[in-house]
C-alpha cells in the first residue's frame, strides 16, 4: 500500500508533482524528500499529503525529515503566497527559505559526543542494533565522518532515521556543509558525563574501579571532577593541562562514556568584543523620551492583543528608533515569544549587531553574507531548536524558522536592498515580513527617518499605524544643513578640485577641534571614465554598455556591472593619442585631492576610505569604525555605505561632495533616493547634545525639491510633492509595476521576443497599462542585450493585483507556447524597484 504526496521541486515550473511513499512512512507537509525527476534527483518539499492516487506516480528516493519537517507550517504558507504574488514556482520560493546546506549536494557528517556505558550499549544492541553499530563505528574516528562513509561501512542505504535518533538522545552531532566549503571554526570542549555529574556516589564508585585497572584515567577524571566545581565545561586543551595527561587518556574516558564533548562554534564566543561598537551602558536601562515611551506603549498594546498589526515608525535621525525596537523585543521575550529584526545589509551594520548582542546576549543570532556554509547551518539550527530567540539579518532572514513569533522589525524599511532582484523569488523583504506577520499574528514595525512613498501612503490611508519621533533623543539637536551652489562657487573661483572653500574651511576647523568628519561621495574608484582629448574615445566594457571606471590604487580599468577588469591602455585605442584624461571623480580621487589640499593648507589628517573596494576583509569596516570613533581616524570618505545607521558621537561635520549624482538618472525613484540618501547621511552629524553638528551639501541644483526638502527637514513637503508626481505619471504607490525583461546574445531575437510578449498582453483592460518594449539605458550586461516591458496595474481598480497577475500569466502562457527558447531569457520582476 502506498500514500501519495504532492511535492514542490526547486525548478521554475509552476506546478506540483505527485509521488508515492510507503503507507507507514511518517511524512508531513514541510518535510524534505529526495525525488526522481527525469534523469535527475532533486530535494523537494512535501506540500500536501494524502492526495488522490496517480498510477504514474513514482516512489520517492528518500525522506530526509521524518521527525521534524525542515519547513514550518507558517513558512509553507508564506512561500506559497510568495510564489503567487511574485509569479515564481512554489519550489523556487521554498528553496530560498532553506539554507543551501540542507539541499542534497550538501554532505552531512556525524561525530561522536558521548559513548554509552556498557549496560546501555548492550541494551541498545538488542533494541536497536543498527544504532549501536553506528556508535561503535563512530567511536573509531576522532574526526566527523560523512554519512556516505557510514552507509558504505554498514553496507546499507537508510541510516538517516538512526542517525537522527542518536542525535536526539545526545550521542552524536550531525553537521551539514557544502562539499568543498571550509569547515565551521569550532572549538572542542569537554565536561563530565551527566550520569557522573548528577550522581556523586556513582562517580566515587567509578573512580575506585578505575584506580585498579587504569590509575592514569582515575587521576584525570578526579582532576576534572574537581575543576568542574569552578567551570563545568573546559576546552580540550585546558582539560589536558588540568589532568596532566595525554590525548589517549582523555579519549579512553570519552569512549567509556565518562566524559561528554561539546563543539562550540568559535564565532559564538563573544564576537569581536575587543572592537565592540556598542555603548558601555546597558541601553535598555536608559530612560525613554516621551515620544519613545508613547511608541513603545502603542506597540506593547498591540502585542498584548496578539493580532497582526503593522506600524510605521517615522523617527528623525538620532531619535532613538533602536531603543524603541529593544523595548518592544524585551516585552516579546518576556512573553515567551521570539523576535525577528531585518536590516538592509548586515555586513554594513556591525554597530547594530553589537548593540543587540549587548542588550540580549546569547539569544541573538545574526545572519550575514560573510558567514560560511557551516556557520549559516549552525545559526539555522540554533533558531530551529529554539536556542536563538532574536534573529538579526538581511531580507533572507524573513525565512528564519522562528517559532512563536511575536514581532518583526524592518529597520530602514525604505532601503532598496530589501528587494531581491535575482534569482527568483524576486520578493520584497519588507512586504514578505508584513505577510509573515499576518500569517503568524505578529506585530510588524517598519522603521525609517525617510519612509518610502508606499509606506507613508499606506499609513495615510490607515493600512499602517503611524508612530512619530519628531525630536532627537538625549537633547541633541538636528544638525544645521547648508547647501553650497557649485555653479556660483566656480564663478567666484572658490573651488579647488571638487572642494569648495566653504567645505574645506569647515573640515580644517573640525581637525583643529579634533572632531570627526564624514564625506559622502557615492561613486567608488578613482575616475568614472577615461577619455581621449583628441577623438573623445571612452573605453567601455566589452560585455556591458558602460564606461570603465579607472582604479588608480590597482592601476586597472574595472566594469562595475560585471566586475571584469582590464589593463589601462598606454595610448588611445581609437586614434593612438598617447594621453587619456581621467574624468570625473570616485572616492579614491576625493581621498587624494583632500590629502593634497590639507597639506597645501599646512595641515594633515588620517583619512580612511569606506567603499566596497576598501572593506573587502571580514572585519575591516568594523576596524575603521572603531578607530574613527576613538579618534585614531580623522576623516572618513565613503559611498552610501557610510549613510546607514552609524551613531558616532564625535562626528560634527558631514560633507556631500556632489548631491546631484543620482538626481537626473531616468528612473522614477531618482528624486526619492536622493532625498533619502541626503537625509540619512546628514543624520550622522551632531548626535550628542554637547557636540552640535553641521552638514554641507555641494550641489548645482540647490532648488531641486529633493535637495531643498532635505536641507529644511521637510519630509512632509517632499512626500506631498513627490506623491503628486507619482500620481500624474502613474507610478507607485498608485500602481504596481512589473518589469518584464528579455535578454540574450542575439539582439534581433531579443527584440522579437519582447514585442511578442507585449502583443500577448490583454488590451482594453482598464486597470492595466503597458509601456514598451523599450531599450533601457543599460542595454547590454555581460554580453547580453536587454529589452524591457513595463506593465502597470492600477491599485484603485485592481487593489490586490489579481488582474495584473492574470494579465502577465496569460501573456506568459501564450508567449511560452510560441516562443519558448533557451536563447532568450525572460524574467518578471513584480514591484520592481527601478524602471531602468
Q: Does 559 interact with Zn ion (rule: CB under 5 A)?
A: yes
Q: In the complex with Zn ion, which residue's Cβ is closer, 776 or 801?
A: 776
Using CB under 5 A, count the residues that bind Zn ion: 14
Query: What CA–CA distance (Å, rounded) separates 265 from 251?
Result: 21
Residue 430 or 560: the one with the smaller Cβ distance to Zn ion is 560
What residues numbered 577-606 form the site for Zn ion, per CB under 5 A?
A: 577
Closer residue to Zn ion in complex, CB, 535/717? 535
Indicate left, alpha or beta for 39 from its phi (over 0: left) and psi (-120 to 50: alpha). Answer: alpha
Least CB distance from residue 786 to Zn ion, whole Å? Answer: 13
Planar angle of CA 667, 671, 674, nearest 5 degrees: 115
Report d(CA 79, CA 92) in Å as an integer: 9
CB-wise, 117 or 569, nearer to Zn ion? 569
Smallest separation, CB 579 to Zn ion (Å): 9
Among the residue ranges 39-47, 366-374, 557-565, 674-682, the one whose residues contact Zn ion (CB under 5 A)? 557-565
Query: How far are the Cα atoms of 9, 28, 511 from residue 41, in angstroms, in the given order?
Result: 10, 20, 64
Interaction with Zn ion in 494-553: which residues (CB under 5 A)?
Answer: 532, 534-535, 537, 541, 543-544
Least separation in angstroms between residue 538's CB and Zn ion is 10
124-132, 444-452, 550-558, 561-569 -> range binding Zn ion (CB under 5 A): 561-569
Beta-carbon contacts of 298 under 8 Å, excluding residues fewer than 6 positions away, are 311, 465, 467
- Residues of this chain, 442-501, that bind Zn ion according to CB under 5 A: none
Task: By CB under 5 A, name the one of 480, 562, 705, 756 that touches Zn ion.
Answer: 562
Q: Which is nearer to Zn ion, 563 or 666 (CB)?
A: 563
Site string for Zn ion, 778-797 (x = CB under 5 A): --------------------
Q: Spell out a b/e string for 17-27, using b for 16 or more CB atoms within 10 Å of the CB, else e.
A: bbbbbeeebeb
For the CB of residue 539, give the shortest distance to Zn ion in the complex, in Å: 10
Rounded distance between C-alpha atoms, residue 593 and residue 507, angstroms: 13
Q: Least separation, in Å, of the C-beta of 781 and Zn ion?
A: 7
Nearer to Zn ion, 323 or 557 (CB): 557
Distances (CA, A) of 376 to 395, 400, 718: 15, 11, 41
Given the complex with Zn ion, which of 63 and 546 has the nearer CB atom?
A: 546
Decide: is 574 part of the binding site for Zn ion (CB under 5 A). Answer: yes
Binding piece for Zn ion, criterion CB under 5 A, among 134-142, 150-158, 574-582, 639-647: 574-582
Nearer to Zn ion, 565 or 769 (CB): 565
Kindly write down the DSSP assignment for every residue of 57-81, as one continuous string. PEEPSEES-SSS-SS-HHHHHHHHH
The span from the CA of 811 to the CA of 822, in Å, is: 18
Does residue 159 belong to the site contacting Zn ion (CB under 5 A)?
Answer: no
- Min dist CB 581 to Zn ion, Å, is 11
Q: Which of 16, 484, 504, 572 binds Zn ion (CB under 5 A)?
A: 572
Query: 4, 561, 566, 819: which one contacts Zn ion (CB under 5 A)?
Result: 561
The least CB distance from residue 526 to Zn ion, in Å, is 18
What is the separation, in whole angstroms, between the first and last Cα of the chain? 56
Region near Zn ion per CB under 5 A, out of 323-331, 412-420, 555-563, 585-593? 555-563
Query: In whole angstroms, how close is the CB of 561 to Zn ion at the nearest point?
Result: 5
Question: How large is the angle between the packed helices 147-154 and 160-168, nearest 10 degrees?
Answer: 120
Q: In degrees rounded to 5, what are phi and psi of residue 796? A: -75, -40
Under a CB-based contact definition with an 8 Å cutoff, are residues 473 and 292 in contact?
A: yes
CA distance 774 to 754: 9
Quick one: 26 or 542, whose CB is closer to Zn ion?
A: 542
Q: Which helix (H) or strand (E) holds 200?
A: helix 200-213
Q: Which 3 state secondary structure label does DSSP give 520? A: strand
Q: Classify residue 441 by its DSSP letter.
A: T
Q: How far is the CB of 193 from Zn ion (least distance, A)?
A: 59
Helix (H), strand (E) at residue 609:
strand 607-610
CB of 784 to Zn ion, least distance (A): 11
Please pick, from the candidates 67, 305, 470, 575, the single residue that binds Zn ion as defined by CB under 5 A: 575
Cα Rg of the chain (Å, integer) = 30
Alpha-carbon gap, residue 298 to 669, rounded angstroms: 32
Shortest separation between residue 541's beta carbon and Zn ion, angstroms: 3
126 CB burial (10 A radius; 0-12, 13-18, 19+): exposed
Contacts with Zn ion by CB under 5 A lie at 532, 534-535, 537, 541, 543-544, 559, 561-562, 572, 574-575, 577
Amino acid at each position: 500500500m502506498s500514500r501519495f504526496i504532492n511535492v514542490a521541486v526547486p525548478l521554475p515550473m509552476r506546478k506540483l508533482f505527485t509521488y508515492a511513499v510507503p503507507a507507514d512512512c511518517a511524512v508531513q507537509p514541510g518535510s524534505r524528500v529526495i525525488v526522481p525527476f527525469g534523469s535527475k534527483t532533486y530535494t523537494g518539499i512535501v506540500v500536501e499529503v494524502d492526495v488522490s492516487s496517480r498510477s504514474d506516480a513514482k516512489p520517492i528516493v528518500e525522506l530526509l525529515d521524518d521527525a521534524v519537517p525542515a519547513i514550518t507550517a507558517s513558512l509553507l504558507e508564506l512561500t506559497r503566497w510568495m510564489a503567487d504574488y511574485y509569479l515564481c514556482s512554489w519550489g523556487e520560493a521554498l528553496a530560498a527559505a532553506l539554507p543551501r546546506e540542507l539541499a542534497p549536494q550538501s554532505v552531512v557528517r556525524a561525530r561522536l559526543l558521548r559513548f554509552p556505558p556498557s549496560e546501555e550499549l548492550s541494551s541498545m544492541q538488542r533494541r536497536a542494533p543498527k544504532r549501536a553499530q553506528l556508535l561503535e563505528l563512530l567511536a573509531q574516528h576522532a574526526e566527523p565522518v560523512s554519512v556516505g562513509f557510514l552507509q558504505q561501512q554498514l553496507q546499507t542505504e537508510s541510516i538517516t532515521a538512526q542517525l537522527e535518533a542518536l542525535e536526539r538522545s545526545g550521542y552524536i552531532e550531525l553537521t551539514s556543509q557544502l562539499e568543498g566549503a571550509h569547515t565551521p571554526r569550532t572549538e572542542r570542549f569537554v565536561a563530565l558525563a551527566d550520569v557522573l555529574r548528577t550522581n556523586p556516589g556513582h562517580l566515587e564508585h567509578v573512580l575506585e574501579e578505575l584506580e585498579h585497572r587504569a590509575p592514569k584515567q582515575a587521576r584525570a577524571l578526579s582532576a576534572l571532577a574537581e575543576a568542574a566545581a569552578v567551570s563545568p565545561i573546559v576546552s580540550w586543551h585546558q582539560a589536558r593541562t588540568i589532568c596532566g595527561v595525554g590525548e589517549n587518556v582523555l579519549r579512553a574516558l570519552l569512549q567509556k562514556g565518562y566524559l561528554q564533548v561539546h563543539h562550540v562554534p568559535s564565532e559564538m564566543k563573544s564576537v569581536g568584543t575587543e572592537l565592540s561598537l556598542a555603548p558601555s551602558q546597558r541601553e535598555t536601562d536608559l530612560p525613554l523620551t516621551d515620544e519613545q515611551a508613547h511608541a513603545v506603549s502603542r506597540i506593547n498594546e498591540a502585542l498584548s492583543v496578539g493580532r497582526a498589526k503593522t506600524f510605521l515608525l517615522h523617527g528623525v535621525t538620532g531619535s532613538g528608533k533602536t531603543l524603541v525596537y529593544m523595548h518592544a523585543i524585551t516585552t516579546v521575550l518576556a512573553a515567551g515569544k521570539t523576535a525577528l529584526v531585518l536590516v538592509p545589509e548586515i555586513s554594513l551594520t556591525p554597530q547594530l549587531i553589537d548593540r543587540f548582542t549587548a542588550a540580549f546576549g546569547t539569544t541573538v543570532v545574526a545572519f550575514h553574507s560573510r558567514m560560511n556554509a557551516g556557520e549559516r547551518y549552525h545559526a539555522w539550527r540554533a533558531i530551529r531548536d529554539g536556542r536563538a530567540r532574536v534573529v538579526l539579518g538581511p531580507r533572507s532572514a524573513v525565512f528564519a524558522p522562528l517559532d512563536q513569533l511575536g514581532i518583526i522589525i524592518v529597520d530602514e524599511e525604505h532601503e532598496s536592498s530589501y528587494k531581491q532582484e535575482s534569482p527568483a523569488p524576486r520578493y520584497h523583504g519588507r512586504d514578505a515580513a508584513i505577510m509573515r506577520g499576518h500569517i503568524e499574528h505578529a506585530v510588524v514595525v517598519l522603521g525609517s527617518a525617510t519612509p518610502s512613498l508606499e509606506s507613508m501612503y499606506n499609513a495615510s490611508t490607515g493600512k499602517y499605524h503611524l508612530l512619530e519621533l519628531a525630536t532627537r533623543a538625549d537633547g541633541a539637536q538636528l544638525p544645521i544643513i547648508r547647501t553650497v551652489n557649485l555653479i556660483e562657487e566656480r564663478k567666484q573661483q572658490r573651488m579647488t578640485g571638487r572642494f569648495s572653500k566653504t567645505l574645506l574651511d569647515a573640515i580644517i576647523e573640525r581637525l583643529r577641534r579634533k572632531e570627526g568628519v564624514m564625506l559622502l561621495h557615492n561613486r567608488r574608484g578613482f575616475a568614472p571614465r577615461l577619455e581621449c582629448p583628441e577623438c573623445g574615445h571612452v573605453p567601455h566594457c566589452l560585455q556591458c554598455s558602460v564606461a570603465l571606471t579607472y582604479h588608480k590604487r590597482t592601476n586597472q580599468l574595472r566594469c562595475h556591472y560585471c566586475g571584469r577588469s582590464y589593463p589601462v591602455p598606454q595610448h588611445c585605442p581609437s586614434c593612438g593619442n598617447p594621453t587619456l584624461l581621467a574624468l570625473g571623480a570616485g572616492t579614491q580621487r576625493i581621498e587624494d585631492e583632500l590629502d593634497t589640499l590639507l597639506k597645501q593648507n599646512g595641515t594633515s589628517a588620517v583619512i580612511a576610505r569606506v567603499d566596497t573596494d576598501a572593506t573587502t576583509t571580514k572585519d575591516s569596516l568594523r576596524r575603521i569604525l572603531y578607530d574613527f570613533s576613538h579618534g585614531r581616524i580623522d576623516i572618513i570618505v565613503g559611498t552610501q555605505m557610510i549613510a546607514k545607521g552609524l551613531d558616532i558621537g564625535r562626528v560634527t561635520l558631514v560633507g556631500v561632495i556632489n548631491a546631484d549624482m543620482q538626481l537626473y538618472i531616468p528612473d522614477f525613484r531618482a528624486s526619492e533616493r536622493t532625498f533619502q540618501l541626503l537625509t540619512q547621511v546628514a543624520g550622522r552629524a551632531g548626535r550628542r547634545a554637547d557636540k552640535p553638528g553641521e552638514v554641507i551639501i555641494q550641489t548645482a541644483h540647490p532648488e531641486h525639491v529633493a535637495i531643498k526638502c532635505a536641507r529644511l527637514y521637510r519630509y512632509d513637503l517632499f512626500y506631498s510633492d513627490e506623491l503628486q508626481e507619482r500620481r500624474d505619471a502613474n507610478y507607485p504607490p498608485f500602481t504596481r509595476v512589473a518589469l518584464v525583461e528579455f535578454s540574450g546574445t542575439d539582439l534581433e531575437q531579443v527584440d522579437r521576443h519582447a514585442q511578442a510578449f507585449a502583443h500577448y498582453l490583454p488590451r482594453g483592460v482598464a486597470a492595466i497599462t503597458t509601456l514598451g518594449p523599450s531599450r533601457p539605458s543599460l542595454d547590454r550586461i555581460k554580453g547580453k542585450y536587454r529589452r524591457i516591458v513595463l506593465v502597470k496595474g492600477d491599485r484603485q481598480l485592481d487593489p490586490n493585483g489579481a488582474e495584473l497577475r492574470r494579465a502577465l500569466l496569460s501573456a506568459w502562457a501564450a508567449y511560452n507556447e510560441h516562443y519558448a527558447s533557451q536563447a532568450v531569457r525572460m524574467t518578471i520582476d513584480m514591484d520592481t524597484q527601478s524602471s531602468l
